[in-house]
């Protein structure tokens, strides 16, 4: 499954935007206050690195006939939860009071050991909360919404090397033995989709050096960004046909 040359170039542009935005934020952080966050956190606290990907998905959706007023990616992006009052999603599609789709975009650059478990808990918690709210009628009269998750991971030595496991009482599952953080993310997203917590997910590996040229890599065809976009496109098109 692949994208047309036009959309593939848009993906490459989003990759360039990701790294250039991080670099700009890191340089500017603290210029007004005189203080800077430590290390790579200077880029993390700025946000907006993923805007290129969010805007790409928005534009892709518009080609299905979903009008821009029905796509929310900057404001009014809150949905009610069951275990919490509300949560902000990165992109929503709502047509005539029906929730068509919700998508989360996340990234991780450095601090792999510290942040992997946090990302795992966030992904599971967000999906669990949304599906419980759906079960309780929070989005009525919506049919089952489409839920997506996109992860951008820095491709670096620390994210690609095998990670040890701790088994003081019980054995971990075999697939985690010798798995790098990149492989752990692939395992996580694959299981999240196969267990139907999410309808589709994408994992993109971005190295800083090659990323400035728009280059990226995907370790799993099942978790490709093209597959994610086409799955979302199929959902949007089926909804448009009903209209």
Encode pLDDT of 178-203 as tens digits.
999 999 999 999 999 999 999 999 99
Reply yes or no on whether the pLDDT at 168 is more than 50: yes
Reply yes or no on whether the pLDDT at 35 is more than 60: no
Task: Measure the CA–CA gap between 17 and 212, rounded to whole angstroms.
Answer: 8
Residue 67's pLDDT band (boundaries 50, 70, 90)? confident
Reply yes or no on whether the pLDDT at 8 is more than 60: yes
- Residue 83 is predicted with a pLDDT of 97
Q: What is the DSSP string of 17-74?
A: HHHHHHHHHHHHTTTTTS---STTHHHHTT--TTHHHHHHHHHHHHTTT--GGGEESS
Q: What are phi and psi of 9, to 5 degrees?
A: -65, -35
- Residue 38 is predicted with a pLDDT of 43
Write out pLDDT tens, residues 36-65.
444 443 334 335 889 999 999 999 888 877
Tokens representing 139 are: 């989005």
For 166, what's the count of Cα atoms within 13 Å in the CB-facing half-sphere?
A: 1
Reply yes or no on whether the pLDDT at 241 is more than 90: no
Q: Are 106 and 122 in contact (CB under 8 A)?
A: yes
- Residue 28 is predicted with a pLDDT of 60
Q: Which residue has the higher pLDDT, 147 or 243?
A: 147
Is the bond preceding 178 in cis, omega lying within 30 degrees of 0? no
Mean pLDDT computed over 211-225: 92
Residue 27's pLDDT band (boundaries 50, 70, 90)? low
Mean pLDDT of the chain: 87
- Residue 69 is predicted with a pLDDT of 79
- Residue 68 is predicted with a pLDDT of 76
Q: Are 62 and 71 in contact (CB under 8 A)?
A: yes
Please state the pTM of the whole predicted model: 0.87
Reply yes or no on whether the pLDDT at 106 is more than 60: yes
Reply yes or no on whether the pLDDT at 114 is more than 90: no
């Amino acid at each position: 499954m692949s994208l047309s040359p036009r959309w593939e170039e848009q993906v490459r542009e989003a990759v360039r935007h990701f790294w250039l935005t991080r670099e700009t934020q890191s340089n500017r952080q603290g210029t007004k206050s005189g203080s800077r966050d430590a290390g790579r956190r200077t880029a993390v606290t700025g946000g907006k690195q993923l805007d290129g990907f969010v805007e790409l998905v928005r534009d892709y959706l518009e080609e299905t006939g979903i009008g821009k007023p029905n796509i929310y990616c900057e404001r009014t992006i809150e949905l009610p939860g069951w275990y919490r009052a509300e949560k902000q999603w990165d992109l929503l599609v709502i047509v005539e009071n029906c929730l068509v789709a919700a998508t989360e975009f996340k990234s991780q650059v450095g601090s792999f050991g510290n942040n992997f478990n946090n990302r795992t808990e966030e992904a599971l918690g967000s999906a669990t909360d949304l599906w419980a709210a759906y079960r309780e009628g929070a989005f009525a009269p919506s049919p089952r919404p489409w839920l997506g998750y996109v992860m951008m991971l820095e491709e670096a030595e620390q994210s690609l090397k095998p990670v040890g496991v701790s088994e003081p009482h019980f054995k971990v599952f075999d697939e985690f033995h010798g798995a790098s953080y990149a492989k752990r993310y692939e395992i996580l997203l694959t299981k999240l989709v196969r267990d139907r917590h999410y309808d589709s997910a994408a994992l993109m590996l971005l190295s800083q050096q090659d990323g400035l040229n728009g280059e990226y890599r995907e370790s799993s065809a099942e978790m490709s960004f093209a597959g994610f976009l086409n799955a979302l496109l199929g959902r949007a098109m089926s909804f448009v046909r009903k209209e």
